[in-house]
Structure formats: structure tokens, C-alpha cells
Structure 1
Amino acid sequence: MEFGRIHCVVVATKAGEVVYERYYDRFTELDKAEIRAAFQQATDSINLANDNQDFVGAFREGCFVLIPTMDLVFYALGSGEYDEMALSGVLRVIMISIADVVGKPPTESVFFEKYARIASVIDEVVNEGMLEAVDKELIRKGAKGKGTWE
């Protein structure tokens, strides 16, 4: 029985410039470049005007999901129990959590303005390649650096 995991979360502009990337497995730089290339190839073959629509692709033995929103594209690569549906849910939780914590929908300018806070939000949602927190209050407290017991 394979449990699987989330291998990476990447956020890029619609032009393809990576704004944020987090790998939860040990990938070589060549592997990371191949993952980015697969994401970019998938992005080039779809209509990015379809905001908040899920698109799915395959990479090696895993799958990935991309969701364009405003001027960004959110990607997640996973395997095992983290199939297309699970990855889509993870990305949606990340997008909603960013909007809740930062107070604005995720855009390129918001990412650069609040980068550290957004990175901590993503780390609260996905921890070591597993979905960790989906509760708004837990994510908000974690992003502020407070324990859930406070």
C-alpha cells in the first residue's frame, strides 16, 4: 500500500517566472529543472484566462495539478494518495489560506510584499510533504508563530 506524498509546491507568474518553490523530497537540480519544464509545458498548452480552473498533468510516476489565478499559477506535484483531487484540494487550501491571512487575494505584488508570511502559511498547510493544517485558525496562528495551545 502506497501512501504517497506531496513532492513540491511551486508558484509562478503566468509568464513562467518562479515566485515561490518548495521541494519536500531530495531532488537534484536537474530533476528540479525537469519539474519546472513539465509545469511550464503544461502551462503553455492551456488557456490561462480560465482563472481558478484545475488542470492536470503527469510527471514520471506522479501527477501534478495547476490552478491559474489572477496573475499567478499554483502548482503541486504528488504521488500515491495525493492524486489529482487531493492536490487540487491542497492548492485550494493554500490559496484560501493566503487570502485569509494576508487579507488580499494572492497576486504577484502581494507575494513579494508579504513573502515571509505567505511562505509560513504554505509551510503550515503542507509540512514535510503531507497535508498538515486545513483549519483557518490553526493556519492563522501558525503563520503568526503562535502555538495552537495559546
Structure 2
Amino acid sequence: IPAAVVLGPFFARHPVLSSTTGKAGLQEQVHSETAWHVGMLRPDGLRIIPSGRSDASHVLNPNQFSDKDVRHSYWVATKIPATLNKLYCWCGCENRGVHRSNLQCFEDQMAVTCAVCQGTAEIAWWMTQAGVQDAGKIQAAVDAKWAPN
């Protein structure tokens, strides 16, 4: 009986082993299935890898908004940009392209009509005012309020 007939069912159940990549292929397959992605909780309590600007240089001027809540949330972004740059925003803005952070939501008009963007910044503001500097703890509070169940 040819080996292919006998071992065929084995290779059907273990396709990585039947490939020419061998162990390396198995490691790549496992890595790709468990790889971290934006939104997935990291060991440091964050859901993004902070990158890009962490200053308020691109935050829209809060004074251009007539609504006091919108104006306040944009003002917050000018006061704690480095903190907001560490926070994942549950508003779905990552669907607009590259998602950097909650800070990015205030660099355009995304946050004008978004309670999630504004609320994330407000949570961060009140927690930093209470002395919380650990962005992982702030992210946990944001998650408790805005993450889907």
C-alpha cells in the first residue's frame, strides 16, 4: 500500500506538517492566530501601541465650537494629549483608517458628534485630576464605560 494512501488522513488533519515549511510554518500559523491587534488588551492594560504625536499641536481649537460640552472635550485634549494618545477609543474611528488613539479623534471633527470620543477624554481628565497617571487604569475605566459587552 503506498504511503500516501496510509498517511493521507494524517496529513489531512495536520496540514502544517505536510507542508515544506515544517516547524517554522507551524510557528507562523500559531503566531498569526494569536498576534496582538489594535483593540486587544495588552499586558500593560492598553489597547494600542502609543505612536505618532503625543502633543496637542494638531488638536482643533476648542473655541471654534459653540456647544459647551464639545468645547470642553476639545479643551481637555489640549491639556492631557499624552494621556489621550495612550487610550483606545471605542467609537469605531479605527474604521476610518489608521487608528492612533483617542487624541486623534480631536485632531479633526470626529469628536464633535461622538459621545464615545468625548466621554473617553472626560474619563481621562477626571482620573488624571484625581491623581491617576497609569494609562492602563484609565483605559480600564474607559473600557468599563464604553466597551461592548
Higher helix proportion, which one? 2
Query: Could you tell me the TM-score, scaled by structure 1's length?
Result: 0.32
Larger radius of gyration: 2
Higher strand proportion, which one? 1
